[in-house]
Amino acid sequence: MPNVRFEHVSKLFGDHVAIRDLNFEIKEGEFVVFVGPSGCGKTTTLRMLAGLETPSYGKVWIGDKDVTLAPPGERDISMVFQSYALFPHMSVYKNLAFGPEVRGMQKSLISERVHQVAEMLDLGKLLHRRPSELSGGQRQRIALGRMMIRQPKIFLLDEPLSNLDAALRTTMRSEIMELQRRLAVTTVYVTHDQVEAMTMGDRIAVFKDGSILQIDTPRQLYQNPTNKFVACFVGSPKMNILPGSLSGRATAVKLGFAGGSIAFDAGRLAQPLALEEREVEVGIRPQDLHWIKDAPSRCGHRLGGVVSNIETTGPETYVVVDIQGTSIVSKFPSFPDIKFGQTVELALDLDDIYLFDRASGDNILGNRDKPTQADTKLPWAAG
């Protein structure tokens, strides 16, 4: 039985439709991330799961219980928000103990739980301090501790790391993942950061305009995005998009893009080409465009262009190349010997491209099954 189920859930604020017809399930112990641009409905969905908002339509289930109208206290969930909302005048111990005390837990049991959680979060030596005497990361851990001390069925986290600097975010990200794995509590985590989503989630729900466009494993989102929005949202730097067209019939299909026309393997299309001509967009990830000097041998297709920008990160360099009036980002080795305005040739394996219908944005390729790493939490999303 799923731990969480949304059944045709919509939410209106006045006549503004914030959430439209959400249907999804979350399994027991799963770590699901809600990701998407600002205002797409992530927090509203989380709040409906927490019982802080009531759906206008549809039902929310936790286990076998319809909780659509149940108050937060009856849902056995714990939540951490972006602002940790710690009590500034209380010690770390008191901050952790406050919730159980209010619920009337026995004093000795509270002390045992506080020390257990403090131990897990490496806060043991800080129990006497006040929040103002702690670092951002330590305060963050108290907020997590308050969530854990209840031993709820579900953890809900809403942008919990957005107040931290980049280095601390990375550390805390690992700590939350490690904790979640250890406790195996069903977790829903809201972020607008695709890197956070890709590194943390067992599955990721990509939101746009109040709908979930795709809910899938990181690998599926990356390799088989259902549409251009998901494809461009996942991966950094983001996918390059070039205008193109498909023409022909049956097995004799040609793909025109970047000023050329090439034979295209029609077997890769999810549906046979019905029209003589179809306007498409060609998606190419920066890491699939290689400097010709060190391209893998499988990259037989060539694209020529002029270098318009160079961004070096250290381990790699992203070079912006102007191809037929479209700027595209390509991956070069670190510190390549190239200059602005130089003409370069890029190499591409045509098996690496994505194709989207230009009008709908739908991915029109069939499922691609590349050699992979693990099915979840891919290392290329890090950093």
Please state, in angstroms and rounded to a whole number, the distance separating the CA atoms of residues 227 and 38.
19
Rounded to whole angstroms, how far apart are CA atoms 378 and 159? 21
3-state secondary structure of 257: strand
Q: Output 40 or 378, the one with its CB closest to ligand ATP.
A: 40
Nearer to ligand ATP by C-beta: 10 or 326?
10
**Shortest CB 107 distance to ligand ATP, Å:** 39
The CB-of-175 to ligand ATP minimum distance in angstroms stands at 23
Smallest gap from residue 10 Cβ to ligand ATP (A): 12
Please report how many Cα atoms fall inside a 13 Å half-sphere around the Cα of residue 172, on the Cβ side.
23
- Compute the distance between CA of residue 175 and CA of residue 29 in angstroms, rounded to an integer: 17
d(CA 12, CA 359): 28
What residues are paired with 309 via a beta bridge? 320
- The residue among 38 and 108 lying less far from ligand ATP, judged by its C-beta, is 38
Task: Work out how close the CB of 198 gets to ligand ATP at its nearest, in angstroms, rounded to a whole number.
Answer: 17
Q: Rounded to the nearest whole angstrom, what is the least distance from the CB of residue 36 to ligand ATP in the complex?
A: 6
Element (H, E) at 221: helix 218-223
d(CA 212, CA 31): 17
Q: Which is nearer to ligand ATP, 36 or 361 (CB)?
A: 36
Cis peptide bond upstream of 333, omega within 30: no
Q: How far apart are CA 153 and CA 180, in angstroms?
A: 12
> 234 vs 227, 280, 327, 336, 361, CA distance in Å?
11, 20, 19, 26, 15
Nearer to ligand ATP, 198 or 350 (CB): 198
DSSP state of 160: T
Instruction: Report, in Å, the least distance between residue 380 CB and ligand ATP.
Output: 24
Q: Nearer Cβ to ligand ATP, position 13 or 87?
A: 13
Nearer to ligand ATP, 44 or 214 (CB): 44
Q: What is the DSSP letter of 169?
A: H
Which spans of this chain sit near ligand ATP (rule: CB under 6 A)? 13, 16, 18, 36, 38-44, 192
- SS3 category, 96: helix
